């Protein structure tokens, strides 16, 4: 089993959510830290522990970013990090696996399963040995007490309750 550390400069958790029932709004969290125990020859022993800084949220609109950090959404002052701790891993293909674990936001923990593609390891020209992990999953934000919304005329709502998440992580081998 090899230990890998997440490179926060080359990792991101991107998300999209339906806005006013007509378009998807995209954003990302730009600071992910943590460790991964991973051996491509025995994926079942994988262990992932990561933290995402809520303050690192970026949608390109400062007013929206500030609102997302507020009590209406993530309550960044009270819950500054989103965490994930894996509990199970299973190979699903040559370079694919499912990672199940506990996702915690706003102090609420729910089990999620992430479909992961992995690549590497490769030796970089800068002396590191690195791997890439790309994971996709969907969450219902209301299950994490992120309830803010505004009704619309057509019986819809301003913000969708389902959030699509894509995490792209580069991790370096711990020497």
pLDDT digits (tens, 9 = 90+) for 90-148: 999 999 999 999 999 999 999 999 999 999 899 989 899 999 999 999 999 899 988 75
Least Cα distance to 10 among 154, 135, 172, 120 occurs for 172
Helical (H) or strand (E) element with 63: helix 62-69
Which SS3 state, helix, strand or coil, does residue 64 take?
helix
Say how many CA atoms lie within 13 Å of 149 toward its Cβ. 20
Q: Which domain holds residue 158?
A: 2-173
- H, E, C per residue of 52-87: EEHHHEECCCHHHHHHHHCCCCCCCCCCCEEEEEEE
CATH, residue 77: 2.40.128.110
Beta strand 108-123 with 47-53 is unpaired
Q: How far is CA 136 from CA 99, 133, 151, in A?
A: 10, 10, 29
Domain count of the fold of the chain:
1
pLDDT digits (tens, 9 = 90+) for 51-88: 999 999 999 999 989 999 999 989 999 999 999 999 99
Question: Per the structure block, which two tokens stand in for 28?
Answer: 């990302």
Say what the pLDDT of residue 14 is.
97
Q: Which of 115, 48, 42 is nearest to 87 (CA)?
A: 48
């Amino acid at each position: 089993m090899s230990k890998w550390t997440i490179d926060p400069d080359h990792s991101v958790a991107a998300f999209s959510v339906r806005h006013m029932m007509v378009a998807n709004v995209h954003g990302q969290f730009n600071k992910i830290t943590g460790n991964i125990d991973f051996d491509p020859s025995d994926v079942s022993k994988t262990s992932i522990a990561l933290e995402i800084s809520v303050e690192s949220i970026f949608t390109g609109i400062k007013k929206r970013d500030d609102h997302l950090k507020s009590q209406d959404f993530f309550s960044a002052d009270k819950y500054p990090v989103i965490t994930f701790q894996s509990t199970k891993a299973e190979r699903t293909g040559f370079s694919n696996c499912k990672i199940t674990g506990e996702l915690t936001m706003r102090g609420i923990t729910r089990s999620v399963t992430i479909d992961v593609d992995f690549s590497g390891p490769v030796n970089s020209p800068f002396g590191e040995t690195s791997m890439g992990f790309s994971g996709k999953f969907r969450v219902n934000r209301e299950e994490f007490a992120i309830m803010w919304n505004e009704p619309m005329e057509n019986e819809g709502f301003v913000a969708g309750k389902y959030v699509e998440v894509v995490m792209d992580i580069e991790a370096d081998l711990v020497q």
